[in-house]
Amino acid sequence: MKGLLKKDHILLKDYFFLFVMLDIAISVMIGGTLLLTQPEKAVMDVSRLAIISYVLLTMVQSLVNQTFNDDEKSGFLANAFTQPVARGDYVKAKYILALQLTGVFAGIHTIGIFIGLVLRKEPLPSDAMMLLAEIFIIALAGATIISFNSISLFMKFGAGKKRDRDQTYCCCTYDNHLFDLDNEYCKRQYRIEYFSACNSNSALFWRKLTACTYEFQMG
Amino acid sequence: MDALEIKNVTKKYTKFTLDNVSFSVPQGSIMGLIGENGAGKSTLIKAVLDLVNKDGGEVDIYGKKHDRNSKDIRENVGVVFDTLHYHENLNPMQISKISALTYKKWDEKAFSHYLEIFKLNEKSKIKTLSKGMKMKLGIAIALSHDAKLLILDEPTAGLDPVARDDLLDIFLDFMQDETHSILISSHITTDLEKIADYITFIHEGKVLLSKSKDELLYDYRIVRCGESDFIELKEEEGAVWRKHDYQYEVLLPTGKKLESKYSSCEMERPTIDEIMLMYIKGERS
């Protein structure tokens, strides 16, 4: 499982820096403009909390989804399950990653909002620290719950079902077009070179195409 | 002891069934898995690795039942597919770091050694590597965690003869340790003729034969004859034949013993390719 997390950390490194910058910018802006409606008192209503949680969730979700897409695109799951990795480890690793990212972004968010408050050049309201703590906890909890639910959905219908979907994938019947072999997805995923050079009128083509259909079904 | 024992493995699809496949790979040997495209080789390998749900049968690796929870068993198995299933932005050094956290016995020095042998730069991203280089990287990964059993699904497909020969040398080198074993599937039967000890031939999801390579190459004979000899030849045990314009071609599993009996016919040792073609295209009684 540690290996899976390490892989995701490495692959997310580039995006992560960009997202951190973006998160800081948004947080400072929220802290400086949106949160305080009265100079002497920090006010946070439901809509503002929703904005904060939504920004946080978008950050975390985009990164976690990116890892799912990377796994799907590279066929990593087929490889991972030949290693000492159980399917449960893969699921756990995604949850832990979401938790780590939520924690990091909630922290950045809170600090960013604090910086925004300071940059207002007005005295900090007396309950500012309490407000920041609330933001951190509520944003963390909200983003965690929603991203965990989203991972569950992804595991049920997305890359996590790769193991079972392998059995039914069939490029030949892609889009109900039996011979649509030029489809990029087919080319990338499957070995089509065995019959692509055959003349479509020849018996050899038909024999190989039948074989190919089997091969595609088998993934 | 068998490194790998496949017992009645069955996998059913709508148009295809892998039907009660059984054979074993003795420890210290290389088993070549041959068959035409769609015969079921890849499905069998996926069933062995538990990447698809089996409809029946069992797979034992070094005497232990292998299923999707057998993490300990998979420590001893190195797998190479015909493509490298790692994200293209990763480089060998990063893969080593990931693998060190995945395998208990990951050997960084061995991995670096293989990278050196294969002339792979540890900082080159996968997307910059050629197909041959990617295969070599896959093999380096499979060999660097002290695997005892290698399972290779068409590792030489799409490679030029030089790269193929390099890989075969690596497999032979791996076999220097007599506890090591390999199951390798390939369309390129000449590769298997070079390295395999045993050959299992799968056709339409069934095992047609599973024998030692020497038995296939030295006992089997292809006889070319006219119609008068053919009538007698086709009654021989296990005979498979094809009719050409002016002659019959008959494959005899016990051909070596029958050389004197059919001395008037043209008789020669078949290649694995010829045996495969005869079984796929030939007729049987």
Mean pLDDT, all residues of chain A:
66
Distance from CA of B34 to the nearest CA of A (A): 14
Q: Give the containing element (helix H, strand E) for B250.
A: strand B248-252
Using CA atoms, how far residue B107 sits from B27, B93, B135, B142, B175, in Å, is 23, 13, 19, 11, 18
> pLDDT above 70 covers what percent of chain B?
100
Let me know how long chain A is: 219
Tokens 């690793």 label which residue? A93
Tokens 């091969």 label which residue? A215
Distance CA(B71)–CA(B145), nearest Å, equals: 14
Distance CA(B40)–CA(B13), nearest Å, equals: 11
Q: How confident is the model at residue B217 (pLDDT cuts 50, 70, 90)?
A: confident
A70-108 pLDDT, tens digit each = 887 787 887 888 888 887 888 888 888 888 888 888 888
The alpha carbon of residue A75 and the mean position of all alpha carbons in its chain are separated, in whole angstroms, by 16
Of B86, B101, B104, nearest to A74 by CB-CB distance is: B86
pLDDT of res. B164: 85
Distance CA(B225)–CA(B220), nearest Å, equals: 16
Tokens 């947080």 label which residue? A27
Answer yes or no: do A83 and B103 touch at CB < 8 A: yes
**Number of Cβ atoms within 10 Å of the Cβ of B76:** 19
Distance from CA of A17 to the nearest CA of B (A): 17
B51-71 pLDDT, tens digit each = 888 888 999 998 888 877 778
- pLDDT of residue B101 exceeding 90, the answer is yes
The alpha carbon of residue B86 and the mean position of all alpha carbons in its chain are separated, in whole angstroms, by 23
pLDDT, average across residues A134-144: 75
- Cα angle vertex B255, ends B250, B259, to 5°? 105
pLDDT of res. A163: 41
- pLDDT of residue A217 exceeding 70, the answer is no
- pLDDT of residue B233 exceeding 50, the answer is yes
Distance CA(A210)–CA(A213), nearest Å, equals: 5
Of B69, B85, B103, nearest to A76 by CB-CB distance is: B85
pLDDT of res. A167: 32
The alpha carbon of residue B198 and the mean position of all alpha carbons in its chain are separated, in whole angstroms, by 9
A188-211 pLDDT, tens digit each = 444 433 333 333 333 444 444 444
The bridge status of strand B198-203 relative to strand B30-34 is parallel
pLDDT, average across residues A142-168: 58
* Residues B179-190: b if buried by 16+ CB within 10 A, e if exposed: ebbbbbbbbbbe
pLDDT, average across residues B166-176: 89
Q: How confident is the model at residue A215 (pLDDT cuts 50, 70, 90)?
A: very low
Half-sphere exposure of A209 (CA within 13 A, CB side): 17
- pLDDT of residue A47 exceeding 70, the answer is no
Number of H helices, E strands in chain A: 9, 0
B14-55 pLDDT, tens digit each = 778 888 999 999 999 999 999 887 788 888 998 898 888 888
* pTM assigned to the model: 0.77
This model of the complex carries an ipTM of: 0.79
Distance CA(A51)–CA(A62), nearest Å, equals: 16
Answer yes or no: do A217 and B52 touch at CB < 8 A: no
Q: Which residues pair with B64 in a beta bridge?
A: B61
Mutate to test the interface with A, among B67, B86, B108, B143 (most CBs of A within 10 A): B86
Of B96 and A28, more confident: B96
A8 token code pair = 């995701």
- pLDDT of residue A41 exceeding 60, the answer is no
Q: How confident is the model at residue B13 (pLDDT cuts 50, 70, 90)?
A: confident
Q: How far apart are the first and last CA of chain A?
A: 26
Q: Give the containing element (helix H, strand E) for B235.
A: none
**Number of Cβ atoms within 10 Å of the Cβ of A118:** 14
pLDDT of res. A195: 33
B62 token code pair = 């070094």
